[in-house]
Chains A and B, each alone.
Chain A
Amino acid sequence: MYKLVKTAYFIEGSGRYRVVKNFFYDLLENNQYRYKKFFDIFMILVILSSVTILVIDVREHIPQWLDDYDLYFVTTVFVAEYFLRMWVYSDIHKIIIDEYEESLFLNKPFSYAKLTWNILRNKWRYVTSISALIDLIAILPSYRSLRILRVFVLFRAFKMLRYTRSLTGFFFVLKNKKFELITLATLFLFFIFIAGIMLYVFEGDNDNPNIHNLFDAFYWALVTISTVGYGDISPVTPEGRAVSMLIIVAGVGLLSFFTSIIVSSFAERLDVLREDRVIHETAKKKNMTVICGYGVLGKLVAKGLKKENVEFIILDINPALAEEAHNAGYRAICADATKSTIFEDLGIHKRISNVLCLTSDDIQNAFIAVNVKSLNEKVTVTARCSDDEVAKNLEFAGVDKVIMPEEVAGMMGMVYAGEPVAFDALLAIVEAKGKTLIDEVKVLSGSQLQDKTIDEIEFEQMRIILLGIFKKSDSKDRPDTFVFNPAVEYMICSEDMLVIIGYDIAIANFKKRYQ
């Protein structure tokens, strides 16, 4: 086998190589990576220092060590960054392996020429990308012999945009409005062209001492149409003034058109930027809950979760509802929850523990539930539905909890038919409208509750009713057993869940003492 191919396979198999490469990738390109922030700040400082040195250098003499710093250190950092980015852009060894395997498969000789061509083409794609070009130009001022290259130091300032997340988004604005901007630019050029030539024809022949050539006329046209109007060149003949009047009016129109395009596209972009921030904010959170659908039920659930201090994020496909959720002070994103993208952005594998599908459409809920489960089976999915048959399907699809508003109402109706007073008592406790609450206390290992009998804990003195205890089952398949009103000699073990009823202050007191 060729030595090169062997090396490629060795790299492919090396875990260490991958770890190192992933680290640099995260540091340079992955916005979700925790330490990228520090790298970005470092780069911004380097750029700022370099620009400052350059500006001071224009009129003052800078000390030698600063010049050396600018020449060697800054350049080294930029060059290193440039090549690192080129390195993480793609994997050369994969290209080699692909090429080798292709030649094996087709039974063709392994061609170095073709391989080199492929590698070069691949990296060339990186080199010609806009951000790489800016990086490259930003390195150029280090070449001191050519004074004109100093201007390119400004590209170092451009480079800063790369390190500030929200600013990169603004580049998309120009991209999104390409068509409108090109139309506008064409119009501008057209007016400048016409007006410039007209003025040159009317006043170029010595009528106006300030207009020496066509360039002066175009310069005047641009200054006038943009409503800047320096006044260094101004028309002197009635014909020239008539042209001025026309392009001033046209200029005001074009400028406001231009402003409105930029403003509207920024406004569109701002929503996206805001949602990026929402996603970014959640990057450090764990055990998040996702509410899909901000309808009647979604709103109530969001309110309830907020009260319980549960971290959650709302998804709704309807921009108006997402906006409403945002205005209500929740984290909200307008997104299609039936697609995997949004869940991957939110970190379905690490940060999400619960997904609630609460749209009013059963099919939609099933779709979302299946989407989530297919991405990560460990996430607990609760889906709302209004049909017994659909409920069965959902359970078959792996949904952990199916909630049916109509069934809940049916249950409550049934309880009411049985015991109206008991029903009221229950509502009062569950709704927590009064001061009486029902709550749970988990017995952690090492807690004061552990290995004590019911008798030893002064529930009564603490004004707490112990309703029962959930005993953790040994195996995962069996549900936990509920021990109602445990006997006085019941020994509390760790992992037990105590269900208690009492006044809010009594429960707080109990929790403080034992949890």
Chain B
Amino acid sequence: MYGKKNIVLFGYGTTGKQLYKKLTEAGNRVRVVVESDDEMIEGEDIDILKINIKHNEDIFSLAIDPRCDLLYCGMGRTAKNLFLVLRLRALYPEATILSISNSPESTRKLKYAGANSVIDLYEATARRTVSSLTKPAVTKALDEIVYRRNDLRMMEMAIEKYSVYDGKKLSEIPFRKFGIILIAIIDKELGDKLIFSYSTIDHMLDEDDVLVIVGKEKDLAKLQVKMLKKN
């Protein structure tokens, strides 16, 4: 769900600041951690923890809970992010780590170092610049959904055991009636891959399958309520 996540954000440079802004706007709880030799950021009304990332004790003192905390590495320099990813991965093998990178080269290294996902600053910006030029409508549509310019949003919904849809076929769910569009599914029987071409096969839904859906917030909520009903 949007918001309500606990996030530990490393770095508070230009990228870090934007991450903090967007994450808090979405209702997440963000803790900012900077390196101890960084200059103190003045005039900002937020709590900033200073640590030395080379010391394990310092990182332990953050009391990171790898199961609920998302770890964002948004330091200004790739070398630091790389080091941080390596260290965090070594300390918390099961944590979700996301890092910022500034080139495909660094992206590869960060992924290798153990980042779950990497956001390539320039790649993403370039893509956005190009698509807003060549496919303006698509860009605007995605903005509406992804960046929540209105009440539309994309979400994932896992099928729970004994839910009304457990064991049902995909075609039996009246998405249209709910005003919802199904974008993709993950059918656990076929692996973790996202399947977009769901319409070619009528997938059987079981426990742990994931639906990626887009819709108005209240419609999504309605579907969710329906889903939670147990058979």
- Which residues of A line the B interface, CB within 8 A? 289, 296-297, 300-301, 303-305, 308, 310, 354, 356, 358, 382, 384, 386-387, 401, 403-426, 428-431, 434, 436, 438-440, 442, 460, 463, 465-468, 470, 480, 482, 484-485, 488, 497, 499, 501-503
Contact = CB atoms under 8 A, between A and B. Distances in A.
A425 B183 contact: yes
B80 to A, nearest CB: 16
Nearest to A380: B133
A426 B146 contact: yes
Nearest to B7: A417
Contacts of B102: 296
B17 A411 contact: no
A410 B141 contact: no
Give the interface centre of B72, B124, B180, B196 by most chain A CB atoms within 10 Å: B196
Closest 9 interchain pairs by CB? A300-B126, A410-B18, A304-B130, A410-B22, A497-B137, A440-B137, A414-B22, A421-B156, A405-B125
A235 to B, nearest CB: 69
Nearest to B212: A425
Contact of B141 (A419, A421, A424, A482): A482
Contacts of B126: 297, 300-301, 303-304
B174 to A, nearest CB: 13
Contact of B132 (A401, A411, A414): A401
B135 interface: yes
A413 B18 CA distance: 9
Given A411-B147, A417-B70, A470-B141, A503 B199 contact: no
A422 B154 contact: yes
Contact of A300 (B19, B100, B122, B181): B122
10 contacts: A308-B130, A382-B129, A406-B121, A415-B146, A420-B117, A421-B210, A442-B137, A468-B144, A470-B137, A470-B141
Given A297-B122, A501-B183, A410 B194 contact: no
B197 interface: yes
Contacts of A424: 117, 194
Contact of B186 (A410, A421, A499): A421
Contact of B28 (A386, A417, A497, A503): A417
A413 B72 contact: yes
A85 B74 CA distance: 65
Contacts of A419: 1-2, 154-156
A488 B103 CA distance: 45
A488 B179 CA distance: 11
Interface residues of B, number: 75
B212 A407 contact: no
A499 B214 CA distance: 13
Interface in B107-140: 117, 119, 121-138, 140
Nearest to B126: A300
Q: Which of A308, A354, A465, A503 has the most CB of B within 10 A?
A: A465
Given A417-B28, A420-B96, A409 B127 contact: no
Given A409-B100, A411-B147, A485 B180 contact: yes
Nearest to B175: A485
A296 B138 contact: no
B14 A406 contact: yes
Given A409-B100, A484-B152, A499 B26 contact: no
A354 B15 contact: no
Contact of B196 (A414, A499, A501): A501
Contacts of B141: 438, 467-468, 470, 482, 499
Contact of B146 (A386, A411, A463, A465): A411
A289 B125 contact: no
B184 interface: yes
Contacts, number: 210
Given A428-B196, A482-B140, 8 more contacts: A300-B127, A310-B133, A406-B17, A420-B156, A421-B186, A440-B136, A440-B138, A485-B181
B47 interface: no
B25 interface: yes
B117 A384 contact: no
A316 B84 CA distance: 36
Contacts of A497: 137
Given A297-B122, A410-B22, A421 B129 contact: no
B3 interface: yes
Interface in B6-42: 7, 14-15, 17-23, 25-26, 28
Nearest to B156: A421
Given A405-B122, A411-B147, A425-B184, A430 B131 contact: yes
B50 interface: no
Contacts of B21: 410
B87 interface: no
A407 B18 contact: yes
A222 B127 CA distance: 65
A2 to B, nearest CB: 59
Nearest to A480: B140
Interface string B172-210: 000010011111101000000010110110000000001
Contact of B19 (A310, A409, A426): A409
B199 A460 contact: yes
Nearest to B72: A413
B43 to A, nearest CB: 13
A116 B169 CA distance: 97
Contacts of B135: 438-440
B194 A305 contact: no
A467 to B, nearest CB: 6
Interface string B143-172: 011110010101110000000000000000
B26 A418 contact: yes
B6 to A, nearest CB: 10
B5 interface: yes
Most buried by B among A420, A424, A467: A467
B64 interface: no
B117 A406 contact: no
Contacts of B127: 300, 304, 430-431
Nearest to B131: A430
B223 interface: no
A403 B133 CA distance: 12
Contacts of B20: 410
Contacts of A305: 130, 133-134
B216 interface: yes
A202 B18 CA distance: 89
A340 B23 CA distance: 41
A148 B103 CA distance: 71
